Amino acid sequence: MDVSIAGAHGQIARRLARLLTERGDTVRGLIRNPAHVNDLRADGSEPVVIDIESASTAALAQAIDGTDAVVFAAGAGPGSGAERKLTVDRDGAIKMLDAAVHAGVTRYVIVSSIGTESPPDGDDVFSVYLRAKAEADAAVIQSDRDWTVVRPGSLTDDPGTGRARIQAKPIRDEVSRDDVAEVLAAVLAEPRSARLTLYVVAGDEPIAEALATLLP
């Protein structure tokens, strides 16, 4: 499989790229900062320098042309203000979705967050972030792509266990970035995970088995 990852220098994205390349997939990593090129190459992915915020839909479509799937793992990141939560986490995801349509890429996986199912109304940055993610998720879910929305719990840097709790109903708990990356890799390998919204937290069940229980 040939996979494009938007936000490819992010912590989950880099873990995912290593998992995919280790199993023989090809990864195209979309990054804004040219200084991150060597990091991506070290992960085994092919870097593509493009700014999702400023690039046109046509330019993004060209960047992902020929791939089998897009993973949107980009985000404004900690320390960014409310405005960039909207321009990256919401608008960037929707623009990348439009690019997938233009490029004929049918598979679209978005890394979301717990809390987007009922985002708060406040003006604080975290509330704006959750609303931005919720609006991006809604656009993806309403699209004609073979989408999967992955909503992990609170992220940790604990070593991965290869196990998780995956369910269709909201659940609040922690989960390691390693295990979220493994869930994303499993989702990409399983076409039946399309059109599912998955909540992911730490658990005792092997990830492949936990995912299989939700497949149609």
Mean pLDDT, range 195-205, rounded to an integer: 98
Enter the DSSP assignment of 44. Answer: T
Residue matched to tokens 């497949």: 215
Cβ atoms 199, 166 nearer than 8 A? yes
Mean pLDDT, range 79-94, rounded to an integer: 92
**Length of the chain (residues):** 216
Q: How far apart are CA 6 and CA 43, in angstroms?
A: 15
Q: What is the per-residue pLDDT across 5-29, written as a single tens digit (0 to 9) for each?
A: 999 999 999 999 999 999 999 999 9
Mean pLDDT, range 155-159, rounded to an integer: 97
Q: What is the per-residue pLDDT across 98-140, written as a single tens digit (0 to 9) for each?
A: 999 999 999 999 999 999 999 999 889 999 999 999 999 999 9
Q: How far apart are CA 204 and CA 210, in angstroms?
A: 9
- Count CB neighbours of 204 within 10 A: 9
pLDDT value, residue 55: 97
108 is catalytic: no
Q: Which of 184, 115, 182, 185 is nearest to 150 (CA)?
A: 184
Has residue 79 got a pLDDT over 80? Answer: no
Given the residues 72, 108, 129, 199, select the one marked as catalytic.
129
Q: What is the per-residue pLDDT across 32-51, written as a single tens digit (0 to 9) for each?
A: 999 999 999 999 999 999 99
Q: Does the reported pTM lie above 0.75?
A: yes
